[in-house]
A and B are shown apart, each in its own frame.
Chain A
Amino acid sequence: MGNLSKQQIEELAKHLEDAELQAYEVTKITDDFPDMTYKDAFDIQWEIRRSKEARGHKIVGMKMGLTSWAKMAQMGVEKPCYGFLADYFSIPDGGQIKLDELIHPKVEAELAFVTKAPLVGPGVHIGDVLRATDFVMPAVEIIDSRYKDFKFDLKSVIADNSSSSRFVAGGTMARPEDLDLKNLGVVMEINGEVVQLGAGAAVLGHPASSVAMLANMLAERGEHIPAGTFIMIGAITAAVHVNKGDSFCVRYQGLGTVSGKFV
């Protein structure tokens, strides 16, 4: 059940999307709307999505957020969330990310699943996900909360499209049966120095369980994951703050590297 009116949802969506597009911080919205519900939060996110599509942007994928214990501990929340990826979020591998377009970005090492069959929750499990997966590829997400000092609660971050801002997909693909996704190692380097390490299991015990959770969360709104969807599973490592001039390179066991530079 929601506690916000349609008009309030639209105003808050515009408030948060303006902050994203013009790269400025806002206070977390639950400060002003303490009674808002999770449904309200998702309604705001879906309103931002609708408004981007209405302006001609294409939605190119979905993302899970706060799926690792490292991230949940870092942000002080107990549950994962999801967001959408718009076309202009995509940066080519080895490309440049314009820091001035963002507020206080952080880099996260992730994996992405691309589906070949629809996943319709509730009740989707890891077996369904592996069967519906066309291939897995390495991906890096650049998250950027619109909230002051990157501080938020779960409802505020859901409304803010789960801090989505940019992503870089790598050029290596592999079928899930050819990977040991749970033990797949990830090494993140910033300017050549190893700063974060982890393995696939850091994401909800197994990367595929993140995709299953997305399908089941979408089902609560009568939505599903269509075939051909690109899904980022959430961070395997803690998010790392970056500055202008920093370059990153994430090395994946058996899946090559993903790199980029902040300019």
Chain B
Amino acid sequence: MNKIIALLFLLVNFSNLKIASTQLTTNQGQVSFFSYTSVENIEAKNNQVLSVVDLSKNEIAISMLMNAFVFKKALMQEHFNESYIESDLYPKAVFEGEILDFDPTVTTPQIKLIKGILTMRGIAKEVEVKTNITMENNAYVFTGTFDLVVKDFDINIPPLLVPNIAKTIAAKFRFEYPTDEK
């Protein structure tokens, strides 16, 4: 009887461990974007992006505060938050998607496609992003780049500033999900 109880206890704990370890989280993901034009280059970085990867379902979720993007020039940051992104009205951007054909047991680098929905300024858009997945120091590292079309998110740019902002913004990301952290 005691053996059965011990076995049950082990089984319950093992299954809990397994469930817990399939969801990996980072609260220090990095997302940056670049706008290149002949007039000026604009770059901003957010180092506090939250992301969860569910290895059992190959799902990924990302959430970021739009006002946590840091620009080189304070005025650019002000315009971004107040005029373009309206971060008081739309404080967060969210992405939810699926990592296609991802095998978490593979420790060699893999290039996979993530398909999902990006919601920014209250507008949801289907997005496909190619990501490079590697294992570094007991952490899954997801890196990649993708393009965002300004018009897709209904961002109003004053006619005077149109030449300063690219129509397509290049975005870059890096998420490091430690496997040994609670």
Q: Do A and B bind each other?
A: no
Interface residues, chain B, with chain A CB atoms under 8 Å away? none
